[in-house]
Structure 1
Amino acid sequence: MPGQRSISEAEKLAEAKLGGIRIRREQMAVVANIYRAASAVRQHLENSVLRGADLTWTAFVVLWVVWVWGESETRHVAEEAGISKGTLTGVSRTLESRGLLRRIDHPTDGRLVLLALTKEGEDFMRRVFPAFNDEEAFVTGRLSDAECRTLAEGLRRVVLQVEEDGEERRRSLLGGEEPAPRRSGRRARS
């Protein structure tokens, strides 16, 4: 984006700042660039195809999860979408009000709710996803198909590392303690 520092410039500044600190620079660069790439791609998609469809990134991901997996319990949709159940409640209500999603009582457990796409939601995803995929092709346009496959496989391995070994690592780092509750960033009132 114009006016912002380039990736190369940010990496050079980090290198200068870290100087003699013993770190794993290649791994730092991977994680930093995963974050930067994810942010850039999300922003591009939200400001292009999703804006035209009047969707947020989160709303699109919820629709995608339900479209791909079919009728699903809300807890599973929230987990797959990487959002809290509270966030899912607001997003699903919005999508329901637009006629794209429906909430269904669980047939055997009254405490649970299922989400499913409506006919309009199915049609909507069939219409919007090709445009979304065109933008996926745009943002990866400097990569060959082989590079896309290699990068996708490398990112899958990063995800598997965290999914399969992350909990044990967190417990080790915290001395067996549970992590402190997340804070909103606001200071407690006196």
Structure 2
Amino acid sequence: MPAHYSLNQTEEAVSRRLGSIPIKREALAAVSNLYRAASTVRQHLENSALRGADLTWSAFVVLWVVWIWEEIETRHVAAEAGISKGTLTGIIKTLESRGLARRSQHPEDGRLALLRLTPEGTALMERLFPAFNDEEAFVVDALTGEESLRLADTLRRIVTHLEAHGEERREELRRQTPVPPRRGGRRRAD
């Protein structure tokens, strides 16, 4: 489902609202368009390639991570998929109930769990991924191959920058302004 307001309408409203507030407008444009693009792409893929397999984006990403690594600790799956361990638990239960994944105890550390795809899960990914990739190609169809590679490189630079310096920056900000406790009952990670 498309957003209620077009990208141009949203950008005009933001410009009106922010007026003369001194901000880094290039950063605002880059990050807000990155977020909007990611949300739009995710919705498109859920409503196209993933719909027939009855998979959410998060479930697909979990399947993808496990498919790539073959067997992986659940904590690493959550980190790679960008989801909480609690969210992963629900996804794993769904995937197990559908016969697509199997969880087992780590042979060297019983506190850890491993996740791997079942033969049915592997077969699903082998069937599904070409259709998923067709939709990835559709998503970037307005770009040339060179522009797609340049975009991928630019996004990779953002990710590696945050991987290298994000924690240091967050720690610096926490020292300047302590983070209040969460209200939702979850503990704040320090």
Tell me if both proteins adopt one fold, taking TM over 0.5 as the criterion: yes
Task: Report the alpha carbon displacement of residue 162 of structure 1 after superposing the two structures with TM.
Answer: 1.4
Of 106-115 and 6-15, the range deviating more from structure 2: 6-15
Task: Report the alpha carbon displacement of residue 3 of structure 1 after superposing the two structures with TM.
Answer: 7.0
Task: Report the alpha carbon displacement of residue 179 of structure 1 after superposing the two structures with TM.
Answer: 4.0
Of 166-175 and 176-185, the range deviating more from structure 2: 176-185
Structure 1 residues 2 and 102: CA distance shift in structure 2, 3 A: closer
Q: Distance between the aligned counterparts of 2:33 and 2:167, measured in 1?
A: 23
Q: Distance between the aligned counterparts of 1:103 and 1:182, measured in 2?
A: 31
Task: Report the alpha carbon displacement of residue 26 of structure 1 after superposing the two structures with TM.
Answer: 1.1
| Equivalent residue, structure 2, for 1:144 | 144
Structure 1 residues 177 and 115: CA distance shift in structure 2, 3 A: farther
| Equivalent residue, structure 2, for 1:188 | none
Matching of residue 102 in structure 1 with residue 102 in structure 2: yes
Identity %: 62
Matching of residue 172 in structure 1 with residue 172 in structure 2: yes
Structure 1 residues 106 and 28: CA distance shift in structure 2, 3 A: same
Matches within 5 A, 1:83-98: 83-98=83-98
Describe the superposition over 1:56-106 as per-residue Cα deviations: whole angstroms up to 9, x where unpaired: 111100000000112000000011011111111110111011111011111
Over aligned residues, Cα RMSD in angstroms?
Answer: 1.8
Structure 1 residues 108 and 56: CA distance shift in structure 2, 3 A: same
Q: Distance between the aligned counterparts of 2:150 and 2:89, measured in 1?
A: 36
Q: Distance between the aligned counterparts of 1:122 and 1:144, measured in 2?
A: 32
Where 2:99 maps in the other structure, the secondary structure is coil
Task: Report the alpha carbon displacement of residue 4 of structure 1 after superposing the two structures with TM.
Answer: 2.1
- Count matched residues: 185
TM-score, with structure 2 as normaliser: 0.91
Q: Distance between the aligned counterparts of 1:138 and 1:45, measured in 2?
A: 10
Matches within 5 A, 1:118-129: 118-129=118-129
Task: Report the alpha carbon displacement of residue 184 of structure 1 after superposing the two structures with TM.
Answer: 4.0
Matches within 5 A, 1:25-174: 25-174=25-174
Q: Distance between the aligned counterparts of 1:8 and 1:147, measured in 2?
A: 22
Where 1:103 maps in the other structure, the secondary structure is strand
